[in-house]
């Protein structure tokens, strides 16, 4: 029987397991959320103008924030109880409802979109409130997360009363306030932060794979729409080379102890590590943009048209996301690698903005990413300072 406090079951922080992995329900959770991500890709394909890109990116942020919010709760407290299972299933149902509102853009479904987020963060606030009551070691931290979730839920609910375009500003405030309180503020102000064995890096990696899969699906759709046109085939092959290179670069530096190390490193390391977590928002959004851009590039190549600017922009943003993630966990790449990444970002932007054929631009970008993989593989891996403060160096590792 589980121990209790005042008749409430103690929700133990995951601090005793040497190794944790995502549960089957967490994998199911990721797949349901990626449905909404996929719908955003369709929106971007239909309107890849600057306004369309900003709209898709703006809608992507709250979807991702909901995913990471429930994922981090599970990382701290999920005990696979019926309550936790039902809570995650309810969040998945909410993600499905959000995906429906994205089918034709939010538009007339704006209140359903906002109301769903309000309900989801009210649910999350309740879960954290129960945890604060039941788990003494995490009480202060859980109360901050409760406050952040309630603030977000309140602003999402308030937006129901505000007409567009002011409504969208309230949505932005809901995400920013929630992310600030249930993040750096909580870890900076909480009197005691419980130590845990975190599997969030694994969750980030799994979601990266799922989003990459969606990007490859978009690439395949681009080829299918062009009836195996030779130029389109070359474009798609180059796009797949980029996707494979992104996988290689990301997972060659994968660090499943990143969060654990930050928790042991003191408040500064804990707050800085949010760049690692929040940087994944940039990476995921860029991967979605890349997939859509390759699909559009294949269509353009079949017609002999110029490159799609979205391709270069998405890959430049992706490289920026990799740098943000690295800085959050104190991993600094060799100067040659950092210079190569900067050059690759410039190559992508120039190649897709110069008006050269789509197939030529995509092949150049693909060759650039392949060269980056070779460079990172051949160069000595960079050491990292021991986060415990001993001054020793950890095993040599690559940086993103």
351: left (phi over 0), alpha (psi -120 to 50) or beta: alpha
Out of 69-73, 80-84, 311-315, 345-349, least confident range: 80-84
Shared domain for 184 and 209, answered yes or no, is: no
Q: Is residue 178 part of a domain?
A: yes
User: Are 74 and 214 members of one domain?
Assistant: no
Query: Given this model, what pLDDT does residue 398 score?
Result: 31
Whether residue 317 is found in the same domain as residue 276:
yes
- In 3-state terms, what secondary structure has residue 382? strand
Above pLDDT 90, what percent of the chain?
Answer: 57
Among residues 246, 342, 229, the alpha carbon closest in space to that of 287 is found at 246
Query: Does residue 152 belong to any structural domain of this protein?
Result: yes
CA distance 114 to 36: 14
Same-domain check for residues 216 and 347: yes
* Residue 347 counted as domain residue: yes
Same domain, 204 and 342: yes
The Cα–Cα gap between 349 and 340 comes to 14
- Whether residue 55 is predicted with pLDDT greater than 80 in this model: the reply is yes
Indicate if 103 and 226 belong to the same structural domain.
Answer: no
* Residues 183, 208 within the same domain: no
Q: What integer pLDDT is reported at residue 272 of this predicted model?
A: 78
Give the span between the Cα atoms of 380 and 235, in whole angstroms: 32
C-alpha dist (Å) from residue 208 to 67, 96, 187, 246: 13, 20, 25, 10
Q: How many alpha carbons lie under 13 Å from residue 234 in its C-beta half-sphere? A: 16
For 75-124, give the DSSP string.
HHH----HHHHHHHHHHHHHHHHHHHHTBTBSGGGHHHHHHHHHHHHHHH
Position 187 pLDDT exceeds 90 = no
* Burial of 41 from C-beta contacts in 10 A (0-12 / 13-18 / 19+): buried
pLDDT above 70: residue 98: yes
In a domain, 130, yes or no: yes
Can you tell me the distance from the alpha carbon of 5 to that of 36, in angstroms, rounded to the nearest whole number? 39
- Give the model's pLDDT for residue 164: 87
Report the number of distinct structural domains present in the chain: 2
What would the pLDDT profile of 224-234 be if each residue is shown by its tens digit?
A: 878 889 999 99
Q: Residue 10: inside a domain, yes or no? A: no
Domain, as residue range, for 75? 20-189
The radius of gyration computed from the CA coordinates of the chain, to the nearest angstrom, equals 22
In a domain, 195, yes or no: no
Q: Which of 158, 189, 220 is the last residue of a domain?
A: 189
Question: 172 lies in a domain?
Answer: yes
Least confident of 79-83, 263-267, 333-337: 263-267
Instruction: Tally the C-alpha atoms within 13 A of residue 272's C-alpha that lie toward its C-beta.
Output: 17
* d(C-alpha 306, C-alpha 297), whole Å: 8
Q: Is the same domain home to 211 and 353?
A: yes
Pair 205, 184 in one domain: no
Residue identified by tokens 């149902």 is 93
In terms of C-beta distances under 8 Å and separation of at least 24 residues, what long-range contacts does 87-90 make, across chains too?
87/123, 87/127, 88/25, 88/26, 88/29, 89/25, 90/123
Q: Which of 164, 189, 214 is the last residue of a domain?
A: 189
CA atoms of 146 and 126, how far apart (whole Å): 7
The burial of 122, by beta-carbon neighbours within 10 Å (0-12 exposed, 13-18 middle, 19 or more buried), is given as: middle
Q: Is residue 7 part of a domain?
A: no
Using DSSP, state whether 386 is helix, strand or coil. coil
Same domain? 168 vs 38 = yes
DSSP code for 3: -
Of 329, 326, 350, residue with least CA distance to 338: 326
Residues 232 and 257 in one domain: yes
pLDDT of residue 380: 60
Same-domain status, 87 and 211: no
């Amino acid at each position: 029987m589980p121990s209790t406090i005042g008749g409430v079951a103690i929700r133990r922080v995951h601090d005793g397991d040497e190794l944790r992995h995502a549960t089957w329900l967490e994998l199911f959770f990721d797949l349901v959320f990626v449905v909404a991500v996929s719908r955003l890709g369709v929106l971007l394909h239909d309107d890849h103008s600057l306004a369309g890109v900003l709209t898709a990116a703006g809608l992507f942020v709250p979807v991702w924030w909901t995913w990471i919010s429930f994922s981090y709760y599970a990382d701290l407290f999920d005990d696979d109880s019926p309550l936790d299972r039902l809570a995650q299933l309810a969040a998945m149902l909410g993600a499905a409802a959000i995906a429906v509102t994205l089918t034709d853009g939010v538009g007339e479904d704006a209140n359903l979109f906002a109301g769903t987020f309000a309900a989801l963060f009210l649910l999350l606030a309740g879960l954290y409130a129960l945890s604060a009551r039941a788990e003494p070691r995490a009480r202060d931290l859980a109360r901050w997360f409760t406050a952040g979730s309630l603030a977000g839920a309140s602003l999402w609910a308030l937006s129901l009363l505000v007409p567009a375009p002011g409504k969208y500003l309230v949505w932005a405030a809901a995400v920013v306030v929630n992310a600030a309180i249930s993040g750096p503020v909580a870890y900076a102000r909480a009197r005691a932060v419980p130590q845990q064995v975190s599997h969030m890096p694994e969750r980030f990696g799994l979601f990266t794979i799922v989003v990459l899969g969606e990007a490859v699906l978009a690439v395949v759709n681009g080829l299918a729409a062009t009836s195996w046109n030779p130029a389109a085939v070359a474009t798609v092959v180059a796009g797949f080379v980029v996707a494979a290179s992104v996988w290689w670069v990301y997972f060659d530096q994968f660090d499943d102890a990143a969060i654990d190390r930050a928790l042991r490193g003191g408040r500064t390391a804990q707050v800085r590590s949010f760049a690692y977590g929040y940087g994944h928002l940039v990476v995921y959004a860029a991967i979605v943009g890349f997939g859509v851009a390759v699909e559009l590039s294949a269509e353009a190549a079949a017609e002999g048209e110029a490159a799609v600017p979205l391709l270069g922009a998405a890959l430049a943003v992706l490289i920026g996301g990799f740098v943000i993630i690295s800085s959050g966990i104190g991993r600094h790449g060799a100067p040659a690698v950092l210079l190569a990444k900067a050059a690759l970002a410039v190559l992508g932007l120039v190649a897709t903005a110069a008006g050269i054929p789509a197939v030529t631009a995509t092949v150049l970008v693909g060759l650039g990413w392949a060269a980056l993989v070779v460079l990172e593989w051949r160069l000595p891996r960079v050491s990292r300072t021991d986060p415990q403060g001993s001054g020793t160096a950890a095993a040599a590792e690559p940086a993103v």
